Amino acid sequence: MIIMAQIIKYTKKGESLYRFKLYLGIDPVTGKRVETSRRGFKRKKDAERVIRQLQLDFANGNYGKAKDTNIKTFDDLFNLWFESYKNTVKSNTAETKKIRYERVVKPLIGNANIKKITPALAQQIVNKLAAKYKSYRQYLVVLNSPLNYAVKLSMLDVNVFKLVIFPKATDKKKYKHIESDNNFYSKDELITFLENVKGYNFKYYTFFRLLAYSGMRSGECLALQWKDIDFNDQTITITKTTAYNPGKKETTINTPKTKKSKRVISIDDVTLSVLKKWRLQQQKKLLKFGFNTNNSQQFLFTNPETNKYYPSHVATSWLGTVYRNFPDMKKITAHGFRHTHASLLFESGANIKEVQERLGHSTSKMTLDIYTHVTQNRKQETSLKFANFMQN
């Protein structure tokens, strides 16, 4: 009995992937068996989709040509890949990929013949991206995904972008004063920040205290409704996030990126008291605009004029306002409060598993990166303490 297709699960660098072996039939010209294999699929259904495509191509006499007659340029290839890709992710994720392609990648390589993209050309494109964008690798994903797809469909023998050397990115960050390895507050710095903001704007104070004391992402915090806060059990239930679609220019409530992001976390007494006080202020403020917010469906943070929840990037705007009014404070990004929470958890004695579950990290690697960072800082502080002791 001939097994037509065999899908096998395997592990590479700790990641579960799928590969397949496929028997297509007998070549009518050579009389030989036609077999092929592919690997590197993140999901079983992706492997199954490619198997179906290969079987269809073989049945139609197109195996080995795989739409070569129609796919000439990288733009053709991207559109072919995107038609399949957009059905596998959330709409805002697909839209983001499309925008990155149209704005940045397409002008560089859209008209290039995919058969004539050489390693030298690939390196030239990567160098240009690295010179212009700090996070240039996000554009490499847009380049690599269609080319990997072409290899799986036998349209190309190799993805030449896998042969390039990755240069160091030029620092084009908006806030150059915020270093990525210093994007968090110490205990004393956090206390100073919150004390200043508390007297300036109570909504901002509530929001940033909630970020710092819960470790939530900005989008998760902005998607909270009062029904998610259990004042009796002292917990917060996190099941959603705000998602901004740049193509449609609208913000929606969406499920978190991973299953681990859905979680229930405990919260301290003081923060709960702050939330109670904020709820009363919110009710009074929104009532002036004609909104009755005395219900559990009400979002914690909304535009007072529309009672509509905010997009996640509003946190950056609020933070910018705070720093303009307190220019001498150390500056971090909104995401830095999540890092702050993790760092202070480790310093308080929490273990890696506890921090991973509280932050909703999908893998322990993300948590370990923060832990390594914290321990390195501790080593430096220990060294300085010893040096100061010897000098005195």
Report DSSP letters for 258-300, one per residue.
SGGG-EEEE--HHHHHHHHHHHHHHHHHHHTTT----STT-BS
278 inside domain: yes
Residue 236 near residue 358, CB atoms below 8 Å: no
Question: Are 227 and 96 members of one domain?
Answer: no
Whether the pLDDT of residue 382 is over 60: the answer is no
Using alpha carbons only, give the angle 35, 40, 43 rounded to the nearest 5 degrees. Answer: 105
Q: What pLDDT, on the 0 to 100 scale, is given for residue 28?
A: 72
392 inside domain: no
Confidence of residue 342 (pLDDT cuts 50, 70, 90): confident
Q: What pLDDT, on the 0 to 100 scale, is given for residue 63?
A: 67
Lowest mean pLDDT across 257-271, 277-291, 327-341, 346-360: 346-360
Q: What is the CATH number of the domain that holds 94?
A: 1.10.150.130
Question: Are 303 and 378 members of one domain?
Answer: yes
Question: Are 280 and 300 members of one domain?
Answer: yes
CA distance 146 to 315: 34
Beta bridge partners of 229: 236
Which residue, of 154, 172, 190, is where some domain finishes? 172
Q: What pLDDT, on the 0 to 100 scale, is given for residue 176?
A: 43
Which residue, of 129, 145, 172, is where some domain finishes? 172
What digits encode the pLDDT tens for the residues 23-51?
Answer: 888 877 667 788 888 888 888 988 888 88
Whether the pLDDT of residue 339 is over 70: the answer is yes
Lowest mean pLDDT across 44-53, 216-225, 317-326, 364-373: 364-373
Confidence of residue 391 (pLDDT cuts 50, 70, 90): low
Q: Which residues contact 362 (CB under 8 A, 6 or more apart)?
A: 257, 258, 259, 260, 261
390 inside domain: no
Question: Are 128 and 162 members of one domain?
Answer: yes
> What is the distance of C-alpha 245 from the center of its chain?
14
In 10 A of CB 267, how many CB atoms? Answer: 18
Confidence of residue 147 (pLDDT cuts 50, 70, 90): very high
Residue 51 near residue 152, CB atoms below 8 Å: no
Average pLDDT over residues 212-223: 93
Q: What pLDDT, on the 0 to 100 scale, is given for residue 3?
A: 60
Quickly list DSSP for 308-349. Answer: PBPPTTHHHHHHHHHHHHSTTS----TTHHHHHHHHHHHHHT
What digits encode the pLDDT tens for the residues 183-194?
Answer: 889 899 999 999
Average pLDDT over residues 15-28: 86
132 inside domain: yes
Kindly report the average pLDDT of the chain as a whole number.
Answer: 84
Whether the pLDDT of residue 331 is over 50: the answer is yes
293 inside domain: yes
389 inside domain: no
Question: Are 50 and 93 members of one domain?
Answer: no
Q: What is the CATH number of the domain that holds 189?
A: 1.10.443.10
Question: Are 185 and 324 members of one domain?
Answer: yes
Question: Are 107 and 131 members of one domain?
Answer: yes
Question: Are 354 and 205 members of one domain?
Answer: yes
Q: What pLDDT, on the 0 to 100 scale, is given for residue 376?
A: 59
Q: How far, in Å, are 76, 173, 208, 212, 313 from residue 333 at the CA level? A: 39, 12, 11, 12, 11
Domain count of the fold of the chain: 3
Question: Are 194 and 73 members of one domain?
Answer: no
144 inside domain: yes
Question: Are 109 and 185 members of one domain?
Answer: no
CA distance 62 to 143: 25
Question: Are 226 and 363 members of one domain?
Answer: yes
Whether the pLDDT of residue 177 is over 50: the answer is no
Question: Which amino acid, residue 75?
Answer: D
Task: For residue 92, give its domain range.
Answer: 66-172
At 315, list the tokens: 């946190």
At 191, list the tokens: 């206390």
- Comparing 179 with 84, the larger pLDDT belongs to 84
Report the percentage of the chain scoring pLDDT > 90: 42
Q: What is the CATH number of the domain that holds 47?
A: 3.30.160
391 inside domain: no
Q: What pLDDT, on the 0 to 100 scale, is given for residue 352?
A: 78
CA distance 299 to 206: 13
Whether the pLDDT of residue 196 is over 50: the answer is yes
Confidence of residue 386 (pLDDT cuts 50, 70, 90): low
At 366, list the tokens: 């993300």
Q: What pLDDT, on the 0 to 100 scale, is given for residue 229?
A: 96
Question: Are 235 and 306 members of one domain?
Answer: yes
Average pLDDT over residues 229-248: 87
Which residue, of 135, 153, 172, is where some domain finishes? 172
Q: What pLDDT, on the 0 to 100 scale, is given for residue 178?
A: 46
